[in-house]
Amino acid sequence: MMTDGKIKNSNELEFAVFCIENVAAKLGVDAERVYQAFAEKSDILHGYIVPEYEVLHTQSREYIVDDLLAVMQERGCSSMTLYHGSHLEIAKPDLLHSRPNVDFGCGFYVTPLYEQAAKWCGKFKRRGKNGIISWYAYDERREDELKTLKFDSYSEEWLDFILNCRSGKDLTAYALVAGGVANDKVFNTVELFFDGLIDKTEAINRLRYEKPNLQICFRTEKALSLLHFEGSEIL
Task: Give the three-class secondary structure for 124.
Answer: helix
- Mean pLDDT over the full length of the chain: 87
- One domain, residues 62 and 93: no
Cα separation, 1 vs 22, in Å, equals 17
104, 177 Cβ separation under 8 angstroms: yes
Cα separation, 117 vs 82, in Å, equals 9
- One domain, residues 106 and 206: yes
- One domain, residues 154 and 59: no
Tell me what pLDDT residue 182 has. Answer: 67
- One domain, residues 98 and 136: yes
- One domain, residues 41 and 152: no
- One domain, residues 136 and 194: yes
- One domain, residues 160 and 86: yes
- Domains in the chain, number: 2
List the single range of 66-70, 85-89, 186-190 with lowest mean pLDDT: 186-190
Strands of the sheet with 81-86, listed across from one edge:
81-86, 132-138, 227-234
232, 135 Cβ separation under 8 angstroms: yes
- One domain, residues 68 and 89: no
Query: Residues 177-188: pLDDT tens digits?
Result: 998 876 667 778
- One domain, residues 53 and 26: yes
Domain boundary among 19, 45, 74: 74
- One domain, residues 188 and 118: yes
CA atoms within 13 A on the CB side of 88: 5
Q: Please report whether residue 4 resides in a domain.
A: no
Query: Residues 146-175: pLDDT tens digits?
Result: 999 988 788 888 888 988 998 899 999 999
Query: Residues 194-216: pLDDT tens digits?
Result: 888 988 888 888 887 777 678 89
117, 83 Cβ separation under 8 angstroms: yes
- One domain, residues 116 and 178: yes
Q: Please report whether residue 222 resides in a domain.
A: yes
Q: Please report whether residue 2 resides in a domain.
A: no
Cα of 208 vs its chain's centroid, Å: 18
Residue 28's pLDDT band, with cuts at 50, 70 and 90, is low
Domain boundary among 74, 109, 129: 74
Residue 61, CA distances (Å) to 21, 52, 64, 114 in order:
11, 15, 5, 18
Task: Give the three-class secondary structure for 145.
Answer: helix
- List the domain range (segments joined by +) for residue 148: 81-234
Q: Please report whether residue 123 resides in a domain.
A: yes
pTM tops 0.85:
no
Residue 2's pLDDT band, with cuts at 50, 70 and 90, is very low
Q: Shortest CA distance to 79 belongs to which of 227, 181, 232, 233?
A: 227
Cα separation, 172 vs 219, in Å, equals 11
Q: Please report whether residue 3 resides in a domain.
A: no
Q: Please report whether residue 126 resides in a domain.
A: yes
Q: Please report whether residue 193 resides in a domain.
A: yes
Higher-confidence residue of 225 and 32: namely 225
- One domain, residues 70 and 94: no
111, 104 Cβ separation under 8 angstroms: no
Q: Please report whether residue 146 resides in a domain.
A: yes
- State the average pLDDT over residues 29-45: 84
Domain boundary among 58, 74, 90: 74
